[in-house]
A and B are shown apart, each in its own frame.
Chain A
């Protein structure tokens, strides 16, 4: 009875024989045998696994169901349940990304106030709003500096999924914040109105960042797209005013309704751009994992 298999060191040398396990599984074992098998099973995973193998399929299923219901239906306290329900927010919402967005909104608002844009439309805040979420998206990616980088890489599609969820979180925060800030500023000036023209450009820039992220990294892509947007919107006025920043801000903000980028016809273009970059993200999703990302990993110890 004690030599049927090579024993694992430490758990003792005795193991329940297949005959005994089969008798136990079928309810045919008696008295002392049942006790010793049960006492042994508690301590020996090997025999547990073998017992599972000789159980009748119906018994197996029954036990599985019982285990499932015990594990999933454990009574929980309400707070614990809530905390677990929103637990994923812990790794999707990064404080840094929200702070970056907040600072960007404050900065744009301050620029409006300092430049004295006045009550027109909402000022340079609307103009820069499409690029504001990018300040958060830049911080959304997981990189080699992450303490658990290698373990994260080994998880299925982890990088793209993390970036997507974090980007959504940033947008959910940035869009209302920019809207409220812009709306308030206009309201203070005694007018009402909320400019929605920046929403589609915002989506277009965000998807462009994610698409670019597959090739040059999300952080760098966010910086490039953001700078391009600022250059395109503030560059020409800056040139026309001969480098006077505040005058340029006033100039850029002034004809906001007539800004070509926000015109009704341009919105179709932004929608197409968004679709294009979403397609790029879907098609190149493989680039978010193995390949260029692991270059850094391979260079240290072997």
Chain B
């Protein structure tokens, strides 16, 4: 495990962070129809659970895809685990240590959960000697052990989502990227999901893209706000909550956190203790 020991933030930044983006830009299309999805993003992330928050179209999924090494940057540098994603050999090594749950994620109806997770263990080059145990462990961690030999066509949406999570965890990744992971989970599942992520986040760099603000408050050590392709704020979720408490009332049914998120997104200063 790289950089998993607790250090002061300063020394960890001098050291190689698990994720380092420098002036990352992504543009779609060419010429007049070109659209900028990410605009000169600088971001360092280390061990822990980080929440990527932002409205639809802010560039969250683009950022996740770049980090998952399946979309190349138009300009700028992307380093994961101290390696440059542009080099084929480095990229391959990164991918072995990567877990990725995309936003749009289907399933193979005729596969059992065990076969499905085993397929991804094979794809991620988990050594065959360890594969069977790794598959069992991943399935158990997401709470699908009793469904391991059930075909995926008879699973519910929440279970499929958890099978997707098992797929991401099967290689014991050092970097875990989850794009909208809590969609389709019922409240109870959401709670066990949070517990799992807290556990994983102890020695893994986890980045969760979501627009459910409560998820971020419950799981994340840090909230990263993006808007129109830029990172506008990095802070602890409790700071957002404090900002929310300082403004507006509870009459419109929003939580302090939601108000804080909205205010921060539109450029309000966050009280104090803001990280970067």
Contact = CB atoms under 8 A, between A and B. Distances in A.
Interface of A: 5-6, 8-11, 45-46, 48-50, 53, 71-72, 74, 84, 87-88, 90-91, 146-148, 150-158, 161-162, 286, 290-291, 294, 297-302
A150 B102 contact: yes
A147 B5 CA distance: 37
A271 to B, nearest CB: 29
B48 to A, nearest CB: 10
Given A297-B71, A298-B71, A49 B102 contact: no
Contact of B202 (A49, A147, A148, A161): A49
13 contacts: A49-B202, A50-B6, A84-B132, A87-B118, A90-B118, A91-B115, A147-B108, A148-B107, A150-B65, A152-B123, A162-B123, A290-B71, A300-B104
Given A45-B199, A150-B70, A156-B92, A87 B123 contact: no
A233 B115 CA distance: 43
Contact of A147 (B59, B68, B106): B106
A10 B129 CA distance: 37
Contacts of A84: 118, 132
A45 B115 CA distance: 28
B37 A155 contact: no
Interface in B156-201: 164, 167-168, 194-195, 198-199
A148 B106 contact: yes
Contacts of A157: 92
Interface residues of B, number: 58
Contact of B70 (A8, A49, A153): A153
Given A11-B198, A150-B65, A155 B59 contact: no
A302 B59 contact: yes
B96 A156 contact: yes
What are the 4 closest A-B residue pairs judged by CB atoms, nearest first?
A147-B106, A155-B123, A150-B102, A45-B199
A302 B102 CA distance: 12
Given A158-B123, A286-B88, A298-B65, 13 more contacts: A6-B221, A49-B203, A150-B68, A151-B164, A152-B123, A154-B68, A154-B70, A154-B95, A156-B93, A156-B125, A157-B92, A162-B123, A302-B57
Contacts of B118: 84, 87-88, 90
B198 A10 contact: yes
B103 A301 contact: yes
Q: Which of A88, A150, A157, A286 has the most CB of B within 10 A?
A: A150
Given A10-B218, A49-B4, A290-B70, A154 B104 contact: no
Interface of B: 4-6, 28, 37, 56-57, 59-62, 65, 68-72, 88, 91-93, 95-96, 98, 100-108, 111, 115, 118-120, 122-125, 129-130, 132-133, 137, 164, 167-168, 194-195, 198-199, 202-203, 218, 221
Contact of A154 (B62, B98, B119): B98
Contacts of B123: 152, 155-156, 158, 161-162
B91 to A, nearest CB: 8
Contacts of A90: 111, 115, 118-119
A294 B70 contact: yes
Contacts of A50: 6
Contacts of B203: 49
Given A87-B118, A150-B105, A297 B133 contact: no
Contacts of B167: 148, 151
Nearest to B102: A150
A199 B37 CA distance: 51
A14 to B, nearest CB: 15
Nearest to A286: B88
Contacts of B60: 302
A45 B37 CA distance: 37
Contacts of B218: 9-10
B133 to A, nearest CB: 4
Contact of B100 (A45, A154, A290): A154
A170 B164 CA distance: 29
A153 B123 CA distance: 10
A91 B122 contact: yes
Nearest to B100: A154
Contact of B119 (A71, A91, A161): A91
B120 A151 contact: yes
A147 B115 contact: no
Contacts of A155: 95, 120, 123-125
B257 to A, nearest CB: 13
A227 to B, nearest CB: 31
A146 B106 CA distance: 8
B195 A298 contact: no
Q: Which of A5, A88, A90, A301 has the most CB of B within 10 A?
A: A90
Nearest to A74: B133
A287 B218 CA distance: 42
A148 B105 contact: yes
Contacts of A150: 65, 68, 70, 100, 102, 104-105
Contact of B133 (A10, A71, A300): A71
Nearest to B61: A302
Contact of B105 (A71, A147, A299, A300): A147
Contacts of B119: 90-91
